[in-house]
Amino acid sequence: MVREDLRNVAIIAHVDHGKTTLVDQLLRQSGTFRKHENIDERVMDSSDIERERGITILSKNTAIQYDDIRINIVDTPGHADFGGEVERIMKMVDGVLLLVDAAEGPMPQTRFVLKKALGQKLKPIVVINKIDRPEARVEEVVDEVLDLFIELGADEDQLEFPVVYASAKAGIATRTMEEEKKDMKPLFEAIVQEIPSPEGDAEDGLQLLISNIDYDKYTGKIGIGRIVRGRLTKGQQAVLVTTDKEEINVKINNLFMFQGLKRTEADEAFVGEIVSVSGIEEISIGDTICSPEKVEALPFIAIDEPTISMNFMVNDSPFAGKEGKFVTSRHLKDRLEREMLSNVAMKMEVVTTECFRILGRGELHISILIETMRREGYEFAVSRPEVIMKKTENGLMEPMEMLYVDVPETHMSSVIEKLGQRKAEMINMIPSGTGTTKLEFRIPARGLIGYRSEFLTDTKGYGTFHHLFDGYEAYKGEIRGRNRGSLIAHESGQAVAYGIYNAQERGVIFIEPGMDVYEGMVVGESSRLEDITVNVCKKKQMTNIRSSGADDALKLVPPVRMSLEQSLEFITDDELVEVTPQTIRLRKRILQKVQRERSQRQKNV
CA dihedral 387, 392, 395, 398 (to 10 degrees): -20
DSSP run (H or E) holding 264: strand 262-265
Spatial distance between the Cα atoms of 30 and 495, rounded to a whole number of angstroms: 58
Q: b/e for 105-136, b at 16 or more Cβ within 10 A?
A: bbbbbbbbbbebbbeeebbbbbbbbbbeeeeb
514 is in an annotated binding site: no
> Residues 52, 54, 60, 61: is their CA dihedral positive or negative?
positive
68 is in an annotated binding site: no
Q: Single out the residue of 475, 509, 319, 293 nearest to residue 399, CA to CA.
A: 475
Q: Single out the residue of 54, 66, 59 nearest to residue 26, CA to CA.
A: 66
450 is in an annotated binding site: no
110 is in an annotated binding site: no
Q: Single out the residue of 340, 363, 342 nearest to residue 350, CA to CA.
A: 340
- DSSP SS3 for 351: strand
Spatial distance between the Cα atoms of 325 and 308, rounded to a whole number of angstroms: 28
DSSP run (H or E) holding 452: helix 451-458
20 is in an annotated binding site: yes
Taking a C-beta distance cutoff of 8 angstroms, is the pair 99, 129 a contact? yes
Taking a C-beta distance cutoff of 8 angstroms, is the pair 22, 99 a contact? yes
Spatial distance between the Cα atoms of 307 and 396, rounded to a whole number of angstroms: 14
Taking a C-beta distance cutoff of 8 angstroms, is the pair 72, 274 a contact? yes
21 is in an annotated binding site: yes
**What is the per-residue DSSP string for 272-330?**
T-EEEEES-TT--TT-EEEBTTB--PPP-PPPPPP-EEEEEE---STTTTSS-SB-SHH
- Could you tell me how far CA 179 lies from the centroid of its own chain? 38
Beta-bridge partners for 432: none
438 is in an annotated binding site: no
Spatial distance between the Cα atoms of 201 and 204, rounded to a whole number of angstroms: 6
Phi-psi label, residue 363: left if phi above 0, alpha if psi -120 to 50, beta otherwise? alpha
Q: Single out the residue of 532, 523, 520 nearest to residue 495, CA to CA.
A: 523
132 is in an annotated binding site: yes
Looking only at the bridges linking them, the beta strands covering 220-229 and 493-494 are unpaired
Compute CA distances 49 → 17, 58, 205, 494, whole Å: 19, 11, 41, 32
60 is in an annotated binding site: no
Which residues contact residue 556 at a Cβ distance below 8 angstroms, ignoring those fewer than 6 apart? 497, 500, 501, 504, 509, 512, 513
91 is in an annotated binding site: no
Residue 212's CB: how many other CB atoms inside 10 A? Answer: 22
Binding site for GTP, by residue number, is 16-21, 129-132
Binding site, by residue number, is 16-21, 129-132
